[in-house]
Amino acid sequence: MQITPAIHALRHPFQVPVAPGIALDRFVYSYLIAGETITLIDTGVAGCKTRIFDYIRSIGRDPAEISLVILTHSHPDHIGAARAIREETGCSVAAHPAERAWIEDVELQNRERPVPGFATLVGGPVPIDYELDRGDTIDIDGSREYELQVLHTPGHSAGSISLYLENEGALFSGDVIPVTGDLPVYDDVTESGESIRLLRSLRGIRVLLSAWDEPRYGDAAYGQMDLALDYLRKIHAAVIAVAGDGNPDPTELTRKTVALLGLPPQAVNPLLARTFAANLKARDKDHPSRST
């Protein structure tokens, strides 16, 4: 899908196995900026190299023109095809320093943050050539025509970044902005809210390009961020309502909170339990006596 003359959106459907014979249908977007060279933002899961390369050829370009892959964070559906793309094109790879360990050592990530089907989603580790942090800019092609502002937007993960191409009014938000009714994933609910508010404060956004959602244009881009903040508040309220002042069994907390939020029962898994636990951490930070 062409968003602007230079920006293209690639939608990658995939499945996450959650139990024998049961899989969740998911999708993720990666984005191309086609200037004199090609910059790829996120890579989808393992196997997405073929879809990305075929699309590049369909617009009359050569996959060998990929000079830079920017990873908004280290999770499987964003880094899955990075190794294969780097091996084929020799491109550089950039990410936030807080994500380096899990990108360069995917087995470490799988141990510390197990995800159902991890081995089928990630094609292997990839070295980081450049670290990106708050305030950095990326001058694609050195022409200043396509200059990406790097925004550190933690919460979903410690080193999540968003990228703003101001002259196009295009905001690439990775997984920072949750979608109402979809499975929430974050490690710090307070930081998630702060990051969304940071993005909401940007002026001139003409298109919001999220990894989890369809492109949103104009006022709908800002409206989507408002909805995301409301969703965070709803999730937090549901977790606290279920937990009360205690610290219940994580699986039971997740099961009851999923039911209260109207999410599908098959969504109950360790990853969602990690998200809901982040709300208890926020509660206990506000009221330290509850953590003892």
One digit per residue, the tens of pLDDT, for the chain of length 292 reads 999 999 999 999 998 877 677 777 889 999 999 999 999 999 999 999 999 999 999 999 999 999 999 999 999 999 999 999 999 999 999 999 999 999 999 999 999 998 888 999 999 999 999 999 999 999 987 777 789 999 999 999 999 999 999 999 999 999 999 999 998 999 999 999 999 999 999 999 999 999 999 999 999 999 999 999 999 999 999 999 999 888 899 999 999 999 999 998 888 888 899 999 999 999 887 654 344 3
Residue 96 lies in a domain: yes
- Listed residue (18, 17, 141) closest to 68, CA to CA: 141
Is residue 14 a part of any domain in this protein?
Answer: yes
pLDDT tens, residue by residue, 82-124: 999 999 999 999 999 999 999 999 999 999 998 888 999 999 9
Q: Give the total number of structural domains in the chain.
A: 1
What amino acid occupies position 117?
G
pTM comes to 0.94
Residue from 127, 188, 197 nearest 160 by CA: 188
Is 44 part of a structural domain of the chain?
yes
In angstroms, the CA 260 to CA 258 distance is 5
273 occurs within a structural domain: no
Question: What pLDDT is recorded for position 188?
Answer: 96
Q: CB–CB of 193/282 below 8 Å?
A: no
Whether residue 145 is contained in a domain is answered as: yes
- Token reading at 207: 């298109």
pLDDT at residue 287 in the model: 54
Beta strands, E only, the chain: 7-19, 22-34, 38-41, 66-70, 92-95, 130-131, 137-140, 146-152, 161-165, 170-174, 207-210, 216-217
CB 179 within 8 Å of CB 212: yes
Query: For position 291, what pLDDT does the model report?
Result: 41
Distances (CA, A) of 6 to 40, 56, 115, 140, 251: 12, 12, 34, 12, 45
pLDDT score of 290: 47
Do the domain assignments include residue 45? Answer: yes
What CATH number corresponds to the domain at position 172?
A: 3.60.15.10
Question: Cα angle at 280 between 277 and 284, to 5 degrees?
Answer: 140
281 assigned to some structural domain? no
Please tell me the distance from the alpha carbon of residue 51 to that of residue 10, in angstroms, as a whole number.
Answer: 8
User: How many other C-beta atoms lie within 10 A of the C-beta of residue 156?
Assistant: 27
Domain that holds residue 67: 7-233
What angle is formed at CA 214 by the lines to CA 168 and CA 148, rounded to 5 degrees? 30
In a domain, 179, yes or no: yes
| Cα–Cα dist 278/184, whole Å | 11
Cα→Cα distances 204→135, 150, 166, 199, 201, Å: 18, 16, 7, 11, 10
